[in-house]
Amino acid sequence: METREKGSRFVATAAPARDEVAARAVIETVRSEFPDATHHCWAFTVEGGRGGPVERTHDAGEPKGTAGPPILQAIRGAGLGNLVVVVTRYFGGTKLGKGGLARAYRTAAARVLADAPRVEGVTMTRLLISVPLRFDAQARSLLARYGGRVESSAYDDPLRSVLRALMPEEARDRLADDLQSIASGEARLQEIDT
């Protein structure tokens, strides 16, 4: 989405990003799409586990605090997460001043976010599930039934299966109850992170 301010063009791009690596990949894609632009300023917010979201900003050569932080303010104001916004500027010959720059970057970001589709997020939790080896297949089946997936598996000793799994947090307690039921109380769950 493009906005103009005193001859300068501001092209805003918003994209989903699960983590910092994905956000930085989007930034590089936008840079390569607009290689002749004066500035590529950006901000992102992605899930950071128990410590809350990871937020980063970059002014890309604009005066300190006039681009990245206003873009982040627009993201926060929209109540969104797990996304990156890059605002690409083509300088139009007229200086906007610090206040004018901040308003222009915030406005460009807010406009692209106003039109962005929304997807409701599901809080996920990562678990270590340990069950006697004979219940491995049933534990995997229960996990899938509750919307989870096995990330890796190992054997604690020859008689126990240990699954590292990711699943919706709201189904954790039901999974724990069902695992205890099928494993005759011998299942162990440990939450790693959310």
Q: Answer yes or no: do 30 and 10 share one domain.
A: yes
Whether residue 54 lies inside any domain: the answer is yes
Measured CA distances, 119 to 59, 64, 102, 122, 157 (Å): 28, 33, 28, 9, 42
> Integer distance in angstroms from the first to the last C-alpha of the chain?
34
Let me know whether 75 and 145 are in one domain. no
Are 102 and 133 members of one domain?
no
- Predicted TM-score (pTM) of the model is 0.65
> Torsions phi, psi of 35, nearest 5?
-70, -20
Residue 92 sits in the same domain as residue 138: no
Please indicate, yes or no, if residue 108 is contained in any of the structural domains: yes
Residue 33 lies in a domain: yes
Same-domain check for residues 77 and 26: yes
Residue 194 pLDDT > 90, yes or no? no
How confident is residue 51, by pLDDT bands cut at 50, 70 and 90?
Answer: low
Q: Describe the crossing of helices 172-182 and 136-145 by its angle, rounded to 10 degrees.
A: 150
**Under the phi-then-psi rule, with left for phi > 0, alpha for psi from -120 to 50, and beta for the rest, what region is 184?**
left
On whether the CB atoms of residues 104 and 3 are closer than 8 A, the answer is yes
In this structure, the answer to whether residues 68 and 18 fall within a common structural domain is yes
Number of structural domains (the chain) is: 2
DSSP 47: -
Contacts of 135 (CB under 8 A, 6+ apart): 161, 179, 182, 183, 186, 187
Q: Quick one: 12 and 93 in the same domain?
A: yes
Assess whether 148 and 60 both reside in one domain: no
Domain that holds residue 173: 124-193
pLDDT at 3: 80
51 by Cβ neighbours in 10 Å (0-12 / 13-18 / 19+) ranks as exposed
Q: What is the CATH number of the domain that holds 186?
A: 3.30.70.240
pLDDT in tens, 94-138: 888 899 999 999 999 999 999 887 777 777 889 999 999 999 999
How confident is the model at residue 97, as a pLDDT?
86
- Per residue in 23-50, pLDDT (tens digit) is 999 999 999 999 999 999 999 999 776 6
- Is residue 90 predicted with pLDDT exceeding 70? yes
Side by side, the strands of the sheet bearing 188-193 are 149-157, 160-168, 124-132, 188-193
pLDDT of residue 39: 95
Residues 98 and 134 in one domain: no
Residue 77, domain CATH: 3.30.230.30
Domain boundary among 88, 114, 140: 114
Average pLDDT over residues 156-174: 89
Q: Write down how long the chain is.
A: 194
More confident residue, 193 or 88: 88
**Structural domain contains residue 119:** no
